[in-house]
Structure 1
Amino acid sequence: MTPPLTVHGVPVIDIDSHYTEPPDLWTSRAPASYKERVPRVILDEEGRNRWVVDGDVDFGPMGFTVVKKDGEKAYGMMSLTDFDEMSDAASYPEPRLELLDRLGISQQIIYPNVAGFGSHRFMSLEDSELRNICSRVYNDAIIELQEAGNGRLFPQALTPFWDMDECVREIRRVTDAGITGITMTDTPEAFELPHLHDPHWDPLWSTCQELG
């Protein structure tokens, strides 16, 4: 029997789920001139899947999900290094919704994996426009994910925090598309940017406040 999606009338909401990005998330959506530069999956010398960006910037093995194809859990978030080992529910909306039904979960808030929680892994890329495109394409994908989620999946957008004008534009764009929240680095000073209490970030805060 499917568990109830509420407990004493209160919806059961998973507030910290993650999105294991499909191998073609970026390559299937990026502008043609960037398809070889955005995140893509290769096989390393040991035959394992790895993410690479901009030709040879290593973003590590697939990892970041601990649920196997059969629904059993692996030990440690880097245990699964091949996409074929992982549950389809980690990456695609229909099996995710089926899993939520089985677990009795009403809704999920979903965070990114490859880019890091607050886009910070993209800071290893020297080309700021490539960073912007990587963020934008990810956000395009989660807009699709949310639309397929029937009001139950709420992925959070990446913010290009390295470029305030682009950051504000992207927040407005994803909000217009129905996205309900953003992710943001908590240590901008690690990237030679001002601390979060600095007025530099006021346009970000005011935009979020305006959009609710």
Structure 2
Amino acid sequence: MDMNDMILVSVDDHLCEPPDMFDHHLPAKWRDEAPKILHTDSGDDVWTFNGSIIPNIGLNAVAGRPKEEYGIEPTSFDEIRPGCYNVRERVKDMSAGGVLGSMCFPSFPGFAGRLFANHPDKDFAADLIRAYNDWHIGEWCGAYPGRFIPMALPMIWSADECAAEVRRVSELGCHSMTFTENPVPLGQ
């Protein structure tokens, strides 16, 4: 589709984070503790982090399927439409659908990065959030400038650290942030 024919901007999209998203962004000291994809005996791909299992729920990846087929599957990267986790394929899908721009919310970290914010080691949590933001801004959105509206995760446990991250990602060209409806339960 010709770029001049694309007029839609979607501001409520989601992505399925790819398995290698932390490989080039998280400091080496955290690599063993970083979230990782585990392929289960039942064929599911799940994220593992801090002793928890976070499934790739199919509702994050039902693009291209009729609404009556929506469910909790697909649950593995082999079953998920590649445009859900591969930015090049996402842009192809967007172009085919006449979508000029997209803002993508996180999936496994949760809104406002709750999964990371709840980690007791706030230095680790901060590095996870910076790694996620660097991946999202640089690799996902940066691969196709002008096609995505970058959206960062906040360091919600500290107003000062959150403000510093807002300034940092702003310098990277990101001017939006996902936020929780109520930060109180996160200990803020």
Query: Which segments of 5 or more consecutive residues in structure 2 lack a partner in the other structure?
Result: none
1:56-95 pair list within 5 angstroms:
56-58=51-53, 60-63=54-57, 64-67=59-62, 71-73=64-66, 74-76=69-71, 78-95=72-89
Residues 3 and 103, structure 1, Cα contact 8 Å, conserved in 2: no
1:154 to 142, 149, 160: 149
Match of 1:131 in 2: 125
Structure 2: distance between partners of 1:96 and 1:47: 24
Distance 2:41 2:161 in 1: 38
How big is each residue's C-alpha offset from its partner over 1:95-129, in whole Å with a ceiling of 9 and x where there is no partner? Answer: 11111111011111111111111112224322111
For the residue of structure 1 that corresponds to 2:13, the secondary structure is strand
Q: Does 1:5 align with 2:5?
A: yes
**1:47–1:101: structure 2 CA closer, same or farther, 3 Å change rule?**
closer
Q: 2:165 maps to what in 1?
A: 170
Deviation at 1:168, TM superposition (A): 1.1
Contact 1:155 1:179 in 2 (8 A): yes
Matched residue count: 184
1:29 aligned partner: 25
SS at match of 2:37: strand
Q: 2:43 aligned with 1:50, yes or no? A: no
Aligned 8 A contact 2:137 2:151 in 1 = no
- Give the alignment's TM-score, normalised by structure 1: 0.78
Conserved in 2, the CA contact under 8 Å of 1:111 and 1:155? no
Q: Tell whether the 8 Å contact from 1:3 to 1:102 is kept in structure 2 after alignment.
A: no
**Aligned residues: percent identity?**
28
User: What is the root-mean-square deviation in Å for CA atoms of aligned residues?
Assistant: 2.1
CA distance in 1, matches of 2:180, 2:105: 13
Largest Rg, 1 or 2: 1
Deviation at 1:164, TM superposition (A): 2.0
- Aligned mates of 2:103, 2:166 — CA distance in 1: 17
Name the SS of the counterpart of 2:62 in structure 1. Answer: coil
Query: Is residue 99 from structure 1 mapped to residue 93 from structure 2 by the alignment?
Result: yes
User: Using CA pairs below 8 Å that are at least 6 residues apart, which structure has the higher relative contact order?
Assistant: 2
Change (3 A) 1:28 1:48: farther
Q: Distance in 2 between matches of 1:148 and 1:5?
A: 21
Contact 2:117 2:155 in 1 (8 A): no
The residue that corresponds to 2:115 in the other structure is 121
Aligned partner of 1:191 in structure 2 is: 186
In structure 1, distance between residues paired with 2:3 and 2:171: 34
**Distance apart, 1:14 and its partner CA:** 0.9
The normalised TM-score by structure 2 is 0.87
